[in-house]
Amino acid sequence: MNPFYTLVADRAFHRCEYCHAPELVFNFPFEVEHIIPLYRGGANAEFNLALACRSCNLRKGTRISGLDPESNREVSLFHPRQDLWDDHFQVDSDSGKLVAKTPIGRVAIAYLEMNSQAQVTARQLWIRLGLFP
pLDDT band at 1 (very low <50, low <70, confident <90, very high): confident
CA 59 to chain CA centroid, Å, is 10
3-class SS of residue 36: coil
pLDDT in tens, 2-14: 999 999 999 999 9
Give the ranges where 12-133 is alpha helix by DSSP (H).
54-60, 85-88, 103-111, 117-128
pLDDT in tens, 22-36: 999 999 999 999 999
Q: How many CB atoms lie within 10 A of CB 87?
A: 12
Average pLDDT, rounded, for the chain? 97
Whole-number percent of the chain with pLDDT over 70: 100
pLDDT band at 41 (very low <50, low <70, confident <90, very high): very high
* DSSP β-bridge partners for residue 97: 92
